[in-house]
Structure 1
């Protein structure tokens, strides 16, 4: 007797073959796809009746530069999608790595799921991942004049400029960051007989 997870793994293996690497952990399946196969695999995941992933629930960017305490040796940027099949009652995670760290570029999936539009804009805004073929790739969470991508691991913690509203001038003001970096070291209090009766 096969479990629900095993049935999904079998359906994925027969539909996608060698185009993906499939891993199962903690009751979830993750597919790792090469950037060149990404669009075709996503199209198959939606259109294959045995799979039927009709909903894109989420798509986010990831910066792996300090993953595993800096031991990661693969590509730096990835886009991770979560798909849902209501008909089959199963979910899958799809990870695609950007082949070039200097110009992180992967195909868009907005033509497959319209919900990818804002998710891809968010990944572009926060991580700098470019989605080839996206019709309106522009910032969505930061200001248009914002410099850099704030979720990258090498982005400075305090940023470069701050924005505030000046009530006297009745306009938004931009100025260099005035926050002094500081380290908070917690004070540890030890009692000799703590936890002993």
Structure 2
């Protein structure tokens, strides 16, 4: 295990030194380092994180979209969509979280990192499918979890919980049919009943 892996402060300083002016923000919390880079510096920063001797993040282990529109106060003053990537250095035994915000809320676009890490392919397709984030340069950007004709992006905060359509198999037509949702939206408040002295409480 490297000295940096034991001391996240050293990883923070090493990453900050490697990224230089491409770094917007760097945080250390709960033993984990998170960096924020600008969309225009995203690809260059990711290449540095892969290649710099003090970084050597050879592996992308996760990538996801985030919709900050109703996340406390975060989404009220800044961009709505972000892409969060988790990187792993096997050779140096260290991990890093990278966050980049999409500049345009109406058409969120971020460069694809599939040219740097092939493993980003399906992760980026998932973020595109669920959040509508477009990864520029991805060579096969299409839905991966929802159905072929699905409309909308179900992980966006403004997507209705019941969806827009429901599907069923029609035996007479011998095919799947789509129909408008028949579920009435309602709010369910759980009712809690406790017996006297439940769990030793009085």
Q: TM-score, normalised by structure 2?
A: 0.90
Residue 83 of structure 2 corresponds to: 79
Q: Cα offset for 1:187?
A: 1.7
- 126-135 or 163-172: bigger deviation: 163-172
Residue 187 of structure 2 corresponds to: 183
Residue 10 of structure 1 corresponds to: 13
How many residues align? The count is 196
Moved over 4 A (4+): 190-194
Cα distance in 2 for partners of 1:152, 1:58 equals 19
Mapping 1:2-41, distance limit 5 Å: 3-20=6-23, 21-41=25-45
- 186-195 or 107-116: bigger deviation: 186-195
Cα distance in 1 for partners of 2:192, 2:122 equals 45
Cα distance in 2 for partners of 1:161, 1:115 equals 33
Q: TM-score, normalised by structure 1?
A: 0.92
SS of residue paired to 1:36: helix
Q: Cα offset for 1:72?
A: 3.4
Structure 2 unmatched ranges of 5 or more: none
Taking only aligned residues, the RMSD between alpha carbons, in angstroms, comes to: 1.9
Cα distance in 2 for partners of 1:132, 1:71 equals 23
Q: Cα offset for 1:154?
A: 0.4
Q: Cα offset for 1:180?
A: 1.6
Summarize deviations over 1:88-134 as a string: whole Å, max 9, x none.
11100000000110110111100000011111111011001011111
